[in-house]
Amino acid sequence: MEYNFKELEQKWQKYWSDNETYKVEIDQNRPKFYVLDMFPYPSGAGLHVGHPLGYIASDIYSRYKRLNGFNVLHPMGYDAYGLPAEQYAIQTGQHPETTTEKNIARYREQLDKIGFCYDWDREVKTCDPDYYHWTQWAFKQMFNHYYCNEADAAKPIEELVTKFETNGSADLNIVCSEQLEFTAQEWKAKTEKEQQEILLNYRIAYLADTMVNWCPELGTVLANDEVKEGLSVRGGHPVEQKVMRQWSLRVSAYAKRLLDGLEHVDWSDSLKEIQRNWIGRSEGAAMTFAVKDSDVKMEIFTTRADTVFGVTFMVLAPESELVAQLTTSEQKEAVETYLQETKKRTERERQAEVDKVTGVFTGSYAINPCSGEQIPVWIGDYVLAGYGTGAVMAVPGHDSRDFKFARHFNLPIIQVVVPEGEEVSDPSTWEDSKDSKAGTMINSDFLNGLSVPDAIAKTKVFIKDNGIGDVQINYRLRDAIFSRQRYWGEPFPVYYKDDMPYMLDDSKLPLTLPEVDKYLPTENGEPPLGRAKNWKTDEGFPLELNTMPGFAGSSAYYLRYMDPKNDKALVGKEANEYWQDVDLYIGGTEHATGHLIYSRFWNKFLYDIGEVVKDEPYKKLINQGMIQGRSNFVYRIKGTNTFVSYGLREEHDVTPIHVDVNIVRNDELDIEAFKKWSPDYASAEFILEKLSDGKAGGKYICGWAVEKMSKSMYNVVNPDVIVEQYGADTLRFYEMFLGPLEQSKPWDTNGIDGVHKFLRKTWRMFYGDNGLTLSDEKATPEELKVLHKTIKKITDDVERFSFNTCVSAFMICVNELVDLKCNKKEVLEPLAVLLAPFAPHIAEELWQLLGHETSVCDAQWPEFNAEFLVESTYKYPVSFNGKMRFTLDLPVDMSKDDIEKAALSHTMAQKWIDGKTIRKVIIVPNKIINIVVG
RNA sequence: GCCCGGGUGGUGGAAUCGGUAGACACGCAAGACUUAAAAUCUUGUGUCCAUUAGGACGUGCGGGUUCAAGUCCCGCCCCGGGUACCA
């Protein structure tokens, strides 16, 4: 019987579904294992062959763990809210839910064909009210908590109110937007509205006027990770800075824990590094500079406190509040002109023109707290309002930006550090600042002669002792802007009373997304929800018009899978205590600064309030590489409809044209399909490769290039097509065979025949020409050796996620067993189990042929027995001066002396020793023999 | 600029702890079977020299450590990713 993958795969997919093979329940008698894929956004284009790469890897690992006795949770769902569905809705008037559901159905159909072991009873969709109920609930909790630095955790806001009532704002070590000072009396005297305004300063989810990334084209604000190089990540539209009253999440309060937590997770170094950079910890000193003839105090942050004697001026960000206070009447006009000009420059222009120095003098002078010197205060747009205090002490001698500014405006430059291996020199001769951290201090009073690190330490002590400042740690991580002025997202559980936000009662959740007539802003610029009829509470208070951003729904989805139908809680205690956290998370590296930061933050918050048992959500994380496209080209001779094959294209003047990779096989064009592909090519003519006898008439060979996988390049390969042609098991095997999981690589269907052949060859070990050929005979030592070598290799490689080498190992195993003409059940049965995680359909069929009546999913992973691999001899490579010349079979337990004798007396050795002296003989038993001659 | 990855045959890749470089597969070539094709099977296939035997060279480039380097160290080049006035 032939290997009929089509029939066989349908049969087993139906079996799994009928028998609920992949249904998972809590089982206290088995250890849990949680394998998670980053859930997809269901786009209109469907899955291409790159999407399942990570899913196949996680599926293999899930099945492997199950075979090893684990109770494996392996769910799947959809990140269903998103801009593309909404943009499409704006264009067509179709409800985004309709297109989203359609896309989800298509995704599901495609996923089902690949034979994944998902427990679909646990599916979640972020746009489902039963799901976003808990997104809204979590937001409420964040609104009702503040961050206490002492406890290093979120605490209920009522506790803070009690503190205000007894002590006012005194002696609080908590995270806030700005420092406020009031007494208990003052607090009590405030109106409800004033109190609410103050509490927003501390809430973890808070409403505030903040500098936001506004994208006019998308009509919404965006979070920092949604903006790249001044453009929106989605769509590439320009983004500008603007102050708006928006919801934010106080992610920055968790900066330290998000950074420290990286030490305890098993993620790739590069991913951790991306997160570390994004969080951006810097340790330095906060210092206060007094201003001459003024009460204003200038707060600055510096990591180079040692260079304080090199400060020759101060610079304020144009947006700094101090600008107005420090501008003198003489400079007022100049400053205002400058502020107008900078405002006109977009964020993108500012970033693009980093070299362009702009600034203006305020007219004020600050006083250096260490030297007592007076220094001018400038305004410059190289100083960012959003980082540190929006003001810097400028050290032009040792900071390249300050140096450029000083040169441009002719401000003094002093050298205070002599870099290692250099002499003191005249700053006016310098090309650039000397930023080196390895050097010795000069011109710096009590710091003279110290090394830079010592000087930093000493300055810190000095400023502390003299009340000038303190040691401080700054983070680059900003709070996450959480409002979107869009329709297709979670509604906020928020209403407004007297312009102050209040949370809906839990009994009102979920607050479902209302219908609107159009998915556009209202005439007076309100978000689309402004169009909804009756968008207010029962009492008549208006509801929030913004919706939540994309990362809201993806931040806690992994918890929901544990207990997806619970209508009392996000996740029940029992489920959470059993499943705990994700043991293995597989997904793309593009979520490094978005989802993976937010969801860690969200989880830590839930941990603080006692909802979940783990502080970190994802124990081990693997980033699968991107699958790039591999495009094919045909070469049209200019001005004709004649196409010349790749090898002959240089003999003509040609235009390369993308051709659909689906009508090309092993770079050979299917000419008939090409003619049908487009009417333009129906009458095309072809110049083919020359045959070996030199005559024309061979194949039409296409050129190729690695590009992004996209429709416009005609290089999109759909997994359904591969499943149709070769079967799901071949697709699964081939995706793994392409190369290491974490490496990016182009999809190239060339080579898929190899793995398909391998599966057929495996099949034929069971089925010969005359039917089933299995034998109950005892296996030979050779056969057992092949089997156990494979058990060891596959087990080791699956453990280290090296799936590509597993495929090779299977091929070697089957090749060797076929050579041995093995048809013994004793060998083929364990082999079927080894295959099951990789090629579940064929494995089920083989398992059944071996006489089993239950699924191979519930078999036991074969145990490796080293005894079968014991050898009596070892084939030594014999090297001379490190170059291998011949091999020599010797007993494994032979003594070093005997090995040396055997090697030196070998006939082949004479040739290399002849006429030379043996200087040394290196023998590593059962490894190598190296003879040094000279 | 800074911080991470990576560079091995015609192609994808293997070499897990410094110990036989190129496993496995594709492609290609030759052959068997076949009326023919497909499928299948056999053999060969890093480059260069040599009829063979065999030899020289060879893991981006240059140097070093070592009995031995794709693997470790120093310097450089190229490709991919992250980040960018972060004080």
Contact (Cβ atoms closer than 8 angstroms) between residue A95 and residue A89: yes
Q: pLDDT: is A595 or A219 the higher one? A: A595
Residue A383 CB lies within 7 Å of the nucleic strand B = yes
The protein residue nearest B39 (Cα–C1') is: A757
Helix axis angle, A803-819 to A825-835, nearest 10°? 160
CB atoms within 10 A of CB A241: 16
Instruction: Compute how many other C-beta atoms are within 10 angstroms of the C-beta atom of residue A244.
Output: 14
**What span, in angstroms and rounded, lies between the C-alpha atoms of A37 and A595?**
13
Between A227 and A485, where is the model more confident? A485
**The pair of three-digit structure tokens given for residue A839, joined into one six-digit string:** 């090629």
pLDDT at A697: 57
The answer, yes or no, to whether residue A422 has pLDDT greater than 90, is no
In the prediction, which pLDDT does A393 show?
94
pLDDT at A744: 86
Instruction: Point out the nucleotide closest to A931 (alpha carbon to C1′).
Output: B67
CB contact set of A770 (below 8 Å; sequence gap of 6+): none
Q: Are A208 and A190 in contact (CB under 8 A)?
A: no
A890-910, pLDDT tens digit by residue? 998 899 899 999 888 888 888
Q: Give me the A residues in range 751-780 that sit within 7 A (CB) of strand B.
A: 751, 753-755, 757-758, 760-761
pLDDT mean over A546-567: 95
| CB A727, CB A6: distance < 8 Å | yes
Say how far apart CA A656 and CA A635 lie, in whole Å: 5
**Nucleic strand B under 7 Å from the C-beta of A928:** yes
Q: What's the CA–C1' distance between A284 and B73, in Å?
A: 34
Q: Report, in ranges, which bases of strand B sit under 7 Å from a protein C-beta.
A: 3-5, 11-16, 19-21, 23-30, 39-41, 55-56, 67-69, 80-87
Predicted pLDDT of residue A347: 63
Residue-averaged pLDDT of chain A: 90
> What phi, psi does A541 have (nearest 5°)?
-80, 140
B79 C1' – A39 CA distance, angstroms?
Answer: 31
* Mean pLDDT, rounded, for A531-539: 93
Phi, psi of A380 (to 5 degrees): -150, 140
Strands (E) located in A679-769: 685-687, 703-707, 745-746, 767-768
**Nearest nt by C1' to A883 Cα:** B68
Q: Which of residues 804-863 of A touch strand B (CB under 7 A)?
A: 804-805, 807-808, 811-812, 815
Give tens-digit pLDDT for A478-513: 899 999 999 999 999 999 999 999 999 999 989 999
**pTM surpassing 0.90?**
yes
CA A877 to C1' B22, whole Å: 17
Note the ipTM here: 0.94
User: In Å, what is the separation between the CA of A693 and the C1' of B30?
Assistant: 15
SS3 A99: helix
Q: In what order do the strands lie in the sheet with A873-880?
A: A883-891, A873-880, A928-933, A918-924
Mean pLDDT of the A398-420 span: 90
Select, from the ranges A38-42, A379-383, A819-823, A880-884, the one with the highest average predicted confidence (pLDDT). Answer: A38-42
Min mean pLDDT across A438-442, A453-457, A555-559, A691-695 is at A691-695
Q: How far is CA A35 from CA A59, A715, A796, in A?
A: 8, 31, 19
Q: How far is the CA of A792 from the C1' of B66 (A)?
A: 33
Residues A769-798: pLDDT tens digits?
667 788 899 999 999 999 999 999 999 999
Residue A188 Cβ under 7 A from any strand B atom = no
Note the CA–C1' distance, A930 to B71, in angstroms. Answer: 19
Q: What's the confidence (pLDDT) of residue A691?
A: 58
- Residue A481 C-beta-side C-alpha neighbours within 13 Å: 25
Cα(A367)–Cα(A289) distance, integer angstroms: 6
User: According to the model, what pLDDT value does residue A400 have?
Assistant: 86
Q: Which nucleotide is nearest to A924 (CA to C1')?
A: B19
Q: Is A870 exposed, middle or buried (0-12, 13-18, 19+ CB in 10 A)?
A: exposed
A744 touches strand B (CB under 7 A): yes
Q: CB–CB of A246/A259 below 8 Å?
A: no
SS3 label, residue A48 = coil
Strand B, CB < 7 A, residues 340-369 of A: 350-351, 353-354, 356
Q: Does residue A157 contact residue A199 with C-beta atoms inside 8 Å?
A: yes
- pLDDT value for A251: 94
Structure confidence at residue A348 (pLDDT): 63
- Paired tokens of A289: 């500079």
Beta strand pairing call for A391-394 and A313-316: antiparallel
Residues A375 and A312: beta-carbon distance below 8 Å: yes
| b/e sequence A646-658, b meaning 16+ C-beta within 10 Å | bebbeeeebebeb
pLDDT of residue A184: 94
How large is the average pLDDT for residues A275-300? 90
